[in-house]
Amino acid sequence: MLLSHRIRLDPTPEQRDYFARAAGTARRVWNWALAEWNRQLDAGLWPNAMALKKQFNRIKYSDPDWQDTNGQPWLRTIHRDAHAQPFAHLARAWSSYFERRHAGQPAHRPRFKKKGRCRDAFYVANDRFRMDGMAVELPKVGRVALREHLRWPGRIMGASVSRTADHWYLAVQVEVPDNVAHRARRENGITGVDLGVSAAATLSSGDKIPAPRPLAAALRRLRIRSRRQSRKVKAAKRAAGIEGPIPQGTRLPVSKSRTCGARALARLHARIAQVRRDFMHKLTTRLCRENQAVVIEDLHVSGMLANRRLARAIADVGFYEIRRQLQYKAARYGTWIVLADRWYPSSKLCSACGEKYASLALGERTWTCAACGAHHDRDVNAAVNLQRLATGAHVARTALPVASQAVTPGTAAGDGPAGGGKVTSVRHEYGQQDGSGQEEIGEHLCAPSR
């Protein structure tokens, strides 16, 4: 099983400098390759990564664009993996774009990466580095100190070095033997999980798991620091005599205090992401360790994020990340993850009698069933309905009619279960290390000045 361990690095100033240049090289090669790809595609050609890489190799030491002020090709100072890998990433981004488009899903072409707005990272192939206890031997920079040992035994498949705020990390992908990767479950429950806003997660047992407390405090500080930062940008704009949006290609003069402010803001964003990730890891481990089946809603996250009032709360809980973690941990614990169809009305069905309360409003935290008189907590009721989806489906493996007969739009009739609850067993995809090369959402979007 392919697992990945992200370890904090302790680089020297020279190593830091190299990392920044290598990441910048990877970004610049991506942009070059993407521009070329777009050009060929629009000219009616069918570009591919191999041909583009060959084309790039022909010019990379001779083209003036790729030489420094002394006329020296600067790619020679950067290890080859950093400028070869973007081609593979780009090819993957294109194929996922075409796949999505064929499937009729919303898709956009791969995008250009912008300094300070994209993930700073570069790749190192497995034969180019060596783990050595609390250090790693990297090409061009030598030994870099690590904050912890590599957690997994097994064959090392590759690594990437990336930056979050002002720290650098090494993510190592390891092919871990199954007997090591597999964990024993402690219990064999079946749990429905309602991911929500008032409590981060509500289990069908009635347990409500609140979002971590430091998050609220950090978010308050985030508002303060963002406000401070935007004032500085405004001041810089005023000094440059710009009204309205900043025209493309303009570089505002960057003051020292703006640089510091940007760094502080980026650090806080990183801390918030860490608190959130820690919480999600604990939650998903607990769910997989204690259950043979876990049911979650296949939420239409981007649709919900469009609802601005809910967006902050939802992005905070990190639905995508919870689902991603559940999926790879499920493989380790042998837990079955069930995704309820996004149209399954888990909140609106009475878990006691199956009656549908169609007019349930978003603000109603509790309600009473008109048919049987049961009094429901909104979230617990939803979690119980989700759990039912698994118990029903679990018995017959083909989903049984569960919960209710109400058919909602968007549900395939026929083989699927009645009640709008389409049950999908989840595919396990290991070691997804942002292979698309696309930007992740939010957390690293930080300093406007970097």
Contact flag: residue 384 with Zn ion (CB under 5 A)? no
Euclidean distance between CA atoms 225 and 372, whole angstroms: 51
Cα angle value 314/347/207 (rounded, 5°) = 70
- State yes or no: residue 372 binds Zn ion (CB under 5 A): yes
Question: Please, are residues 180 and 284 in contact by the beta-carbon 8 Å criterion?
Answer: no
78: tokens are: 């950067």
Return d(Cα 313, Cα 325) in angstroms, integer. Answer: 19
Q: Which is nearer to Zn ion, 362 or 371 (CB)?
A: 371
Rounded-to-10 torsion of CA 20, 21, 22, 25: 120
Q: Report the alpha-carbon distance of residue 404 to residue 421 in Å, rounded.
A: 9
**Residue 417 CB, nearest approach to Zn ion (Å):** 20
Measured between alpha carbons, how far is residue 155 from residues 158, 213, 429 in Å? 9, 39, 18
Contact 294, 336 (CB under 8 A): yes
3 state SS of 233: helix
Residue closer to Zn ion, measured from CB, 224 or 372? 372
Q: Which stretch binds Zn ion (CB under 5 A): 75-83, 161-169, 322-330, 344-352?
A: 344-352
Among 224, 260, 362, 371, binds Zn ion (CB under 5 A): 371
Stretch touching Zn ion by CB under 5 A, among 119-127, 225-233, 265-273, 368-376: 368-376
Stretch that binds Zn ion, among 153-161, 315-323, 369-377, 390-398 (CB under 5 A): 369-377
Looking at beta carbons only, is 35 or 370 nearer to Zn ion? Answer: 370
Q: Which of positions 134-163 make contact with Zn ion (CB under 5 A)? A: none
Site membership for Zn ion, residue 36 (CB under 5 A): no
Q: Which of 59, 353, 362, 395 binds Zn ion (CB under 5 A)?
A: 353
Q: Are strands 2-10 and 142-146 parallel, antiparallel or unpaired?
A: antiparallel
Helices vs strands, H then E, count in the chain: 10, 15
H-type helices in 113-190, by residue range?
Answer: 178-181
CB of 361 to Zn ion, least distance (A): 18
> Total number of residues binding Zn ion (CB under 5 A)?
8
Least separation in angstroms between residue 410's CB and Zn ion is 24
CA–CA distance, 336 with 55 (Å, rounded to integer): 47
Please report, for residues 4, 31, 91, 99, the alpha-carbon distance to residue 95 in angstroms, rounded to integers and kept in the order given: 24, 17, 6, 6
The correct pick among 350, 382, 384, 393 for binding Zn ion (CB under 5 A) is: 350
Amino acid at 188: N
Distance of closest approach, residue 305 Cβ to Zn ion, in angstroms = 32
CA 170, CA 149: separation in Å to the nearest integer? 11
58-66, 75-83, 165-173, 349-357 -> range binding Zn ion (CB under 5 A): 349-357
Q: Are 146 and 139 in contact (CB under 8 A)?
A: no
Nearer to Zn ion, 374 or 426 (CB): 374
CB of 348 to Zn ion, least distance (A): 11
- Residues contacting residue 43 through CB under 8 Å, at least 6 positions apart: none
Report the 10 Å Cβ neighbour count for 155.
Answer: 12
Q: Which of 12/368 has CB closer to Zn ion?
A: 368
Determine, following the binding rule CB under 5 A, whether residue 352 of this chain makes contact with Zn ion. yes
Which region among 156-164, 263-271, 366-374, 400-408 touches Zn ion (by CB under 5 A)? 366-374
Instruction: Identify which of residues 215 and 382 has a Cβ nearer to Zn ion in the complex.
Output: 382
Cα 205 from Cα 216, distance rounded (Å):
26
Interface with Zn ion (CB under 5 A), residue from 36, 175, 207, 355? 355
- In the complex, the smallest distance separating the C-beta of residue 371 from Zn ion, rounded to whole angstroms, is 5
Binding segment for Zn ion (CB under 5 A), chosen from 39-47, 302-310, 367-375, 399-407, is 367-375
Tokens of 85: 């890998």
Nearer to Zn ion, 355 or 440 (CB): 355
163 or 356: CB nearest Zn ion:
356
Nearer to Zn ion, 173 or 204 (CB): 204
What spatial distance separates the first Cα and last Cα of the chain, rounded to whole Å?
A: 37
Instruction: Name the residue nearer to Zn ion (CB basis): 192 or 354.
Output: 354
Among 9, 138, 369, 399, binds Zn ion (CB under 5 A): 369
Name the nearest CA neighbour of 4 among 177, 173, 181, 178. Answer: 173
Least separation, in Å, of the C-beta of 355 and Zn ion?
5
Q: Restricting to residues 236-295, which ones interact with Zn ion according to CB under 5 A?
A: none
Reading the block at residue 311, the tokens are 């967006």
298 vs 355, which CB is nearer to Zn ion? Answer: 355
Residues that bind Zn ion (CB under 5 A): 350, 352-353, 355, 369, 371-372, 374
